[in-house]
Structure 1
Amino acid sequence: MAEFIKFDRITKFYGPLCVVENLDLSIAKGEFVSLLGPSGSGKTTLLMMLAGFEQATSGKILLDGAAINDVPTHKRDMGVVFQSYALFPHMTVGENIAFPLQMRGIDKAETAARVKQALDMVQLSTLADRRPSQLSGGQQQRVALARALVFEPRVVLMDEPLGALDKQLREQMQLDIRELHRRLGLTIVFVTHDQSEALTMSDRVAVFNKGKIEQIGTPRQVYDEPATRFVAEFIGETNLVEGVVEAIEGREATVRLPNGAQIVSAVSDGVAAGQGVYLSIRPERIDLAEARGAARNVLETEVTDSVYQGDHLRVQLQNEAYPLIAKLGRRSREFAPGTKVFAAFSAGDCRVIAP
C-alpha cells in the first residue's frame, strides 16, 4: 500500500531531553496503526506532532505527499479523540457533534443530516438531546468519537481514548472502533500502553521505547516474532532464558542453555553461531507432562506453584538453572508443588533474540 502519512527522520527535544529520536514511520491510507509503549516512550508526542499541537525539532511530517509541519492544526483535517472525552457540558449530545461542522461553516440542513448519520454510526440516535452528564463513560466516549468523525476527516487520531473505561466496556469499545474502521475505511493512528488493546484493534503495531520504534509489524508478528528483548517482555508475558547459539540451519538455531540442554528454535537474521542470545518462550506455548513424550524440545523441571486464574492455570516451574512459567488451559490437570514434569514446546513456539 502507498504511504499516506510519513514521518521522515523526526526528532523532538523538550529542552535538553530528546523524547523522539530520528524516527521514520509510514502509514497507508485506510490503515489502523497503534503506537504502543510505556509512559515516556514518545508515542503521544509523535501523535501530538501529527495533530499539530507540537512542533518537531527536526524532520518532516508528510500527509499524502505534502509536508504539513507548518500547517496549522485546524487546517490539517484530522479528527482527534482524547481519553478525557473533552465534551462541552453545556451542550447536548447533538450540539457537541455539530460543533466542528459549525466551525467549518456547514449549513444547518447538512449539519443536521451529518449529525444524525454520526449518531446512527455510534448507536446513540436516541440520546441526541441529553447532556454529557446524563451519559455513561462509554456513551460519552462514543459521542467524542462521533464528533471526531462527523466532518469526515482524512485521519482520525486517538490518544488512549479507552483508558478511563472499565474492562468490560473497554473491550466492547475496542470491537466497536475496529468495526467502524473496517466499515468506513478510516485511517486511524491510535496511542495506547495496553498491549491487548493494540493486538486486538490494529493492522500494524509500532512498539515504542525511549523515543524510538523497536519493532513495527502485524499483531501476530510483534507477538510471535519479537525482534528485541524489550518487545518480547513488553507485549504479553514470556520466559527469557540465556543461551549460546551452537549452530544455525536455515531459519532454525540450536541453542545450548546454562544447564546443558539443547533447544531448537526459530531464529531471525543477524544471529550468528557462537553468539550469546536470549530464548523467548511464551508461557501458553508450553505443555506439561510427567512422561517425557516425543516433542522436539523438552526441559526437565519441577512445579513450585500452581494458581487457578479463571481461564487458565498459571504454573511456576524451576530447574537447576532457570525458572519458567507455563499457562495451561483451565481444564488441564493441576500439578502439586514438588511434582517433576517435562516442559515441551516446538521450535516454532520459541524465538532466538539477540541481546
Structure 2
Amino acid sequence: MTQPYIRFDKVTKAYGDFTVVEDLYLDIAKGEFVSLLGPSGSGKTTLLMMLAGFEPPTRGAVIVDEKRIDQLPPHRRNMGVVFQSYALFPHMTVAANVAFPLEMRGVPKADRKQLVDRALDMVQLGAMADRKPSQLSGGQQQRVALARALVFEPAVVLMDEPLGALDKQLREQMQLDIRDLHKRLGLTIIFVTHDQSEALTMSDRIAVFNKGRIEQIGTPNEIYDHPTTRFVADFIGETNLLDGTIETSDASGLTLSLPGGKRIRVAAGSNEAAGKTVTVSLRPEKIRLGADAGPSSSSGNSIPATILDSVYHGDHLRMVLDAEGTRLIAKADRRFGDLQPGSKAVASFDPADCWLVRS
C-alpha cells in the first residue's frame, strides 16, 4: 500500500478495566472500501465511532491524510455517517432531511438545492424529494440516509450495519448500489457488518475482528480461501476444520493422520515438523461426491463416507457425511439428490484445497 489515507496507530479503547479495542493498527488507502467484520462485541463499531469522533481513543492515534484528528469534534472531520436506524427526521421532507447537514455547516441556502438534487440523483430518489420518510419503503429510507451522508461531499463515508434492517432481496440490491456508488465516486468507505456474505460481496479488503483485535486483513479471496486462523476459517462462510497429526513433511506438502486413522495429503510448506498436531480448513464446496474416487484420485484425497443428512438449498444440497469417523459437510450438485441418509459415497478433495490454520 502507498501512503495510507487513514491510519489507526496502536489504538486502544477501554472502559475502566474492560478493553474493547486493544493496541490496534490498521491502514486504509484513499478510495478503498474496507469492511470491519466480526461478531457482536468484537470492537468493530467502537473503532468506527473513534474515527467518526463520537468516542475518543484511550491510547494511540487516529490519523487522516497525515493529520491527527483525535481531538477534532465530529463536525470538523468531514465524514458522512450512515447508521442502521436511518435516523431521519419524520416531520421533514426527504429534501429537508438531506439538506440538514448543509444547514449545520452554514452552506448558503442558494447552494443547497443544487447539492441536495445532486445527492438524491446519486441514489435515484430525485422524484421523491417532497415526500416524508413515512411515505417511503425501508430501502428508500436507507437511500435517503446515504444521500444525506454524501451531500456535503465528505472525504470518508462511515457505515455502521446500514443494511441490517432490510429484507434479504432489498439488502442484496442495496449492496450492489453502494458498491456502484463507491466505484463511480471514488469514495473511501469503512463499512461495519457482521454479515460475512455482505463483506465478501462489497469490499476491497476485509478486516476480521475478534475480541478487540484484527485476526486477519486481506482481500475477500484471501480471507475466504486462505484464512490464517481457526477463528477466521470458521467465521467466514462454512468450513470443515480437521485436526490431524503430521506424519511426513516434504517439498510437495504434508501427510496428515486424522483421528480415525485416515491419511490425507495437504499442499502446505515443508517447514512443519512430523508429530505436530495441526488444523486444516476444507471448504464444503471443494468436496466432490461420487460412487468412487473419481479421475483425480491418484493425486488427491478420497475417503469412503456414509450420508448422515441431506438438506435441499435450491442451487445445491448440503450433505453431512461420516467419513471414516470424521464428520464432513459437503455442498453437492442437485444431481446427487439420490444420495439419501444411509447411502454410501466417496468424498474426494485436492491437497491444494486443504489450508493450514493456526488455533
Relative to the length of structure 2, the TM-score reads 0.95
SS state at 1:130 partner: coil
Q: For each residue in 1:141-182, what CA deviation from the matched residue of structure 2 results, as whole angstroms up to 9, or x when unmatched?
A: 000000000101010000000000000000000000000000
1:340 aligns with 344
2:78 aligns with 77
Counterpart Cα distance in 1 of 2:320 and 2:88: 47
| Residue identity in the other structure for 1:319 | A
SS state at 2:89 partner: coil
Contact 2:253/2:270, CA 8 A, preserved across alignment = no
Contact 1:271/1:354, CA 8 A, preserved across alignment = no
Counterpart Cα distance in 1 of 2:69 and 2:249: 47
C-alpha change, 1:266 and 1:61, in structure 2 (3 Å) is farther
C-alpha change, 1:250 and 1:94, in structure 2 (3 Å) is farther
2:242 aligns with 241
Contact 1:268/1:352, CA 8 A, preserved across alignment = no
Q: Indicate whether 1:39 and 2:44 are aligned.
A: no
| Residue identity in the other structure for 2:346 | F
Counterpart Cα distance in 1 of 2:115 and 2:268: 52
SS state at 2:348 partner: strand
C-alpha change, 1:77 and 1:269, in structure 2 (3 Å) is farther
Q: 1:351 aligns with which of 350, 355, 358?
A: 355
2:301 aligns with 297
Contact 1:306/1:334, CA 8 A, preserved across alignment = no
C-alpha change, 1:229 and 1:310, in structure 2 (3 Å) is same
CA offset at residue 249 of structure 1?
Answer: 3.6
2:329 aligns with 325
2:286 aligns with 285
Contact 2:304/2:324, CA 8 A, preserved across alignment = no
Counterpart Cα distance in 2 of 1:137 and 1:187: 25
2:123 aligns with 122
Counterpart Cα distance in 1 of 2:126 and 2:208: 37
1:216 aligns with 217
| Residue identity in the other structure for 1:243 | G
Question: What stretches of structure 1 of length at least 5 have no aligned partner?
Answer: none
Relative to the length of structure 1, the TM-score reads 0.96
- CA-based RMSD of the aligned residues comes to 1.5
CA offset at residue 270 of structure 1?
Answer: 7.5
Count residues in correspondence.
355
SS state at 2:11 partner: strand
* More moved, 329-338 vs 278-287: 329-338
| Residue identity in the other structure for 1:334 | D
2:311 aligns with 307
CA offset at residue 272 of structure 1?
Answer: 4.1
| Residue identity in the other structure for 1:215 | Q
Question: What stretches of structure 2 of length at least 5 have no aligned partner?
Answer: none
* More moved, 305-314 vs 323-332: 323-332
